[in-house]
Amino acid sequence: MSKPIRRIELDEFAVLVDAARLIHASRDEPIPELAQDNWDNVEYALTAPFAYVYGHTPYRGFIKKASIQFYLFAKGHRLVNGNKRIACVSLNYFCIKNDRTLNISNDDLVALARYTANSDPLAMPECLDYINDFLKGRIT
């Protein structure tokens, strides 16, 4: 039996945002503080991969859960700024938390985040398939 997949909790996410803010503070596009009025949007992105619809999860398995979470942060504008960067950081942390390794270069991860953010919102299923296929073999 496989180990249960652990989700990122809101307090863990807040620590991730604070760490990313410190790293990007000196750059031209800093990441703003996580405002309390964004918490519902963030909580949705953290819990959606684990949701059940009519008794079934639409995101079965680690890669599919990672893909939808990445999509929701990169595309969903959960934060005022820094959504693509937070999508990358949260994907990496999600892997670490679940004893997985993300085997991808920073450039490829940034390219995936940009692709996702610029994708047609009406093509969400196709974008999720692309992310899913991209991550297969890159998460061990």
DSSP assignments along 87-108, one per residue: HHHHHHHHHHHTT--B---HHH
Q: 98-119, pLDDT tens digit by residue?
A: 999 999 999 999 999 999 999 9
Instruction: Note the pLDDT of residue 60.
Output: 94
Q: Which residues pair with 56 in a beta bridge?
A: 53
Contact (CB, 8 A) for 112 and 131: yes
Q: How far is CA 42 from CA 3, 91, 101, 104, in A?
A: 25, 14, 24, 25
In-domain check, residue 99? yes
**Residue 4 within any structural domain of the chain:** no
Domain, as residue range, for 94: 10-135
In a domain, 2, yes or no: no
What number is the average pLDDT over the span 14-19? 87
State the CATH number of the domain containing residue 21.
1.20.120.1870
Number of domains in the chain: 1
